[in-house]
């Protein structure tokens, strides 16, 4: 057995087919595509359900914010009665039905703590700890598919004085609804889609949100223009025009539909919305109503935080704001570098080194699904390619047996 730094696993499981880490949309879709080609696989997930990001780590009012046809997984459309922007419940129901239809049954409570390629044996050795019993299992197989996602861990920045604040502090992944914050002054740190939507939800529950927009910069786009999704317009234009030009058109249209946001304390970053999404994973905000609440003064926009003190924070402009609670909507990061060892396929940020559309295949039977910064459509695109490639190798292997 290969040397591992941790104690030897108490169980060893031989996997006939790929080992897939993650039972979110990426893991489910690659396993379903493999199954359709007659290739079995084993999915491991640290959580106790499929799509735990959606089921356990998102707020109640969440809906898909891209039109439904961009969010379908390979081989199964959404039910006809679903609306253009399905609710979280509908999306989760769809994912559960997707797994059931494909006959995919992930192994839950399996937190992968290390995976390495054993070159001598030509096999991947994946160690997982059972989240309930603590029992360690080593899974051994010919292929490894990384499907742990871009949102595996939450980012909570450190600030001077944070310990003095005194009130409840949480990350948006724990937020369900504004019910708990009625009448409270809430400082929401971050102005991506999460920060904006949580502020909107807080308003709807009569809380008093202030939203931190660091450097006052964020791209806000209307979700729709004259009933057409801005995202669909962007995808259409990208068929004919270079990305920079499409970005200029989007910013022009946003200005036309949303007006000048500088009056609200919001400036546009130097890079375009799609350029920043692709290069740095900064998703532009697709507005579903927060802007109107900023205009009406229900959501206060404030600059970056300098430090916390008891009951509030001092801001970059020296102003002090009082707050009863703080919610960090400061984003997520990949966790691949924490557990994938001895491979330089992923950068230290946990994304494939080779950019889209080529980042799905590594060396020695290593694959990735869902690290394209292109949401669910990127997940589907990777899943189809990975399943096709593994199925080809599988056929060659089984025909020579
Ligand atoms: C709030 C929110 C809303 C979004 N809305 C949209 C949208 O409308 N449209 C769109 O296209 N995209 C959207 N996205 C993007 C999102 O990335 C995708 O929706 C999708 O969930 C990605 O699927 P995934 O399987 O790659 O990752 P995930 O859904 O995060 O699944 C990864 C799985 O891996 C498991 N895992 C992680 N680490 C380990 C480990 N070490 N061991 C075992 N298991 C592990 C996790 O438990 C999880 O179940 C949204 C993201 C967020 C956060
Ligand atoms: N309805 C939907 O479908 C929804 C989709 N999502 C998606 O989920 C993903 C994650 O979104 P989200 O959770 O908003 O995370 P994002 O990474 O998109 O946004 C993080 C925000 O936090 C800010 N931030 C980070 N660090 C600090 C700091 N130290 N001080 C102040 N601000 C800080 C960032 O500002 P800066 O830009 O300056 O770094 C940015 O505004 C995205 O892809 C998003 O589109 C999220 C919610 C709803
Ligand atoms: O909502 C998300 O997290 C997504 O990743 C969806 C998405 C992919 N590409 C985009 C470009 C603009 C806005 C949203 C997305």
Check if 99 has its Cβ closer than 6 Å to any atom of ligand 1: no
Check if 293 has its Cβ closer than 6 Å to any atom of ligand 1: no
Check if 370 has its Cβ closer than 6 Å to any atom of ligand 3: no
> Per-residue pLDDT for 100 more than 80?
yes
Mean pLDDT of 28-32: 98
Predicted local confidence at residue 401, as pLDDT: 61
In the block, residue with structure tokens 């295949």 = 361
Check if 306 has its Cβ closer than 6 Å to any atom of ligand 2: no
Mean pLDDT of 336-351: 97
Rounded to the nearest 10 degrees, what angle do helices 375-399 and 25-36 cross at? 40
Predicted local confidence at residue 2, as pLDDT: 43
Check if 374 has its Cβ closer than 6 Å to any atom of ligand 3: yes
- Residue whose Cα lies nearest atom 8 of ligand 1: it is 64
> Per-residue pLDDT for 216 more than 80?
no
Predicted local confidence at residue 9, as pLDDT: 78
66, 375 contact by CB (below 8 A): yes
Check if 65 has its Cβ closer than 6 Å to any atom of ligand 1: yes
DSSP conformation class of 389: H
CA gap 141, 138 in Å, rounded: 10
DSSP character string of 190-219: --SHHHHHHHHHHHHTT-EEEEE-GGGB--
- % of the chain at pLDDT higher than 90: 95
Check if 222 has its Cβ closer than 6 Å to any atom of ligand 3: no
Q: What is the pLDDT of residues 248-287, one digit of tens each?
A: 999 999 999 999 999 999 999 999 999 999 988 899 999 9
CA gap 246, 264 in Å, rounded: 25
Residue to mutate (ligand 1; options 376, 382, 383, 386; most atoms within 8 A of CB): 376
Residue to mutate (ligand 1; options 19, 21, 23, 24; most atoms within 8 A of CB): 24
Atom of ligand 1 minimally distant from the CA of 338: 41
Predicted local confidence at residue 293, as pLDDT: 98
Q: pLDDT grade, residue 6 (50/70/90)? A: low
> Per-residue pLDDT for 299 more than 60?
yes
Residue 188 phi, psi (nearest 5):
-100, 115
CA gap 29, 217 in Å, rounded: 35
Residue to mutate (ligand 1; options 31, 151, 232, 339; most atoms within 8 A of CB): 151
Indicate the pTM of the whole model: 0.96
Check if 25 has its Cβ closer than 6 Å to any atom of ligand 1: yes
Q: Is the dihedral of CA 32, 37, 40, 44 positive or negative?
A: negative
Q: pLDDT grade, residue 1 (50/70/90)? A: very low
324, 330 contact by CB (below 8 A): no
Q: What is the pLDDT of residues 60-98, one digit of tens each?
A: 999 999 999 999 999 999 999 999 999 999 999 999 999
């Amino acid at each position: 057995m290969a040397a591992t730094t941790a104690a030897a696993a108490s169980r060893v499981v031989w996997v006939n087919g790929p080992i897939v880490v993650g039972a979110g949309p990426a893991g489910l879709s690659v396993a379903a595509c493999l199954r359709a080609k007659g290739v079995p696989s084993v999915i491991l997930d640290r959580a106790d359900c499929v799509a735990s990001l959606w089921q356990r780590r998102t707020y109640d009012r969440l809906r898909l914010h891209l039109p439904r046809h961009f969010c379908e997984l390979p081989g199964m459309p959404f039910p006809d009665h679903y609306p253009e922007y399905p609710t979280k419940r509908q999306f989760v129901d769809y994912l559960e039905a997707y797994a059931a239809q494909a006959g995919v049954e992930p192994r839950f409570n399996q937190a992968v703590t290390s995976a390495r390629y054993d070159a001598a044996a030509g096999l991947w050795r994946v160690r997982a700890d059972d989240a309930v019993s603590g029992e360690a299992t080593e899974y051994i197989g010919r292929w490894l598919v990384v499907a742990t996602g871009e949102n595996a861990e939450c980012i909570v920045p450190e600030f001077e004085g944070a310990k003095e604040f005194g009130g409840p502090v949480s990350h948006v992944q724990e937020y369900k609804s504004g019910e708990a914050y009625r009448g409270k002054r809430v400082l929401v740190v971050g102005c991506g889609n999460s920060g904006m939507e949580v502020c909107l939800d807080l308003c709807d529950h009569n809380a008093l949100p202030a939203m931190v927009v660091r450097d006052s910069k964020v791209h806000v786009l209307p979700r729709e223009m004259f009933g057409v999704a801005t995202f669909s317009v962007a995808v259409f234009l990208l068929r004919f025009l270079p990305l920079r030009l499409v970005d200029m058109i989007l910013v022009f249209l946003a200005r036309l539909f949303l007006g000048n946001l500088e009056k609200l304390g919001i400036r546009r970053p130097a890079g375009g919305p799609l350029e920043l999404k692709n290069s740095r994973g900064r998703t532009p905000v697709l507005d579903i109503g927060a802007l109107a609440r900023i205009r009406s003064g229900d959501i206060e926009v404030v600059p970056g935080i300098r430090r916390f003190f008891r009951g509030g924070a001092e801001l970059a402009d020296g102003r002090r704001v009082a707050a009863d609670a703080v919610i960090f909507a400061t984003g997520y990061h990949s966790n691949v570098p924490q557990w994938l060892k001895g491979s330089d396929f992923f950068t230290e940020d946990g994304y494939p080194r080779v950019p889209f559309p080529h980042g799905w295949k590594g060396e020695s039977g290593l694959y990735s699904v869902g690290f394209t910064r292109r949401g669910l459509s990127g997940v589907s695109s990777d899943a189809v390619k990975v399943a096709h490639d593994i199925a080809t190798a599988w056929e060659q292997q089984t025909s020579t047996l």
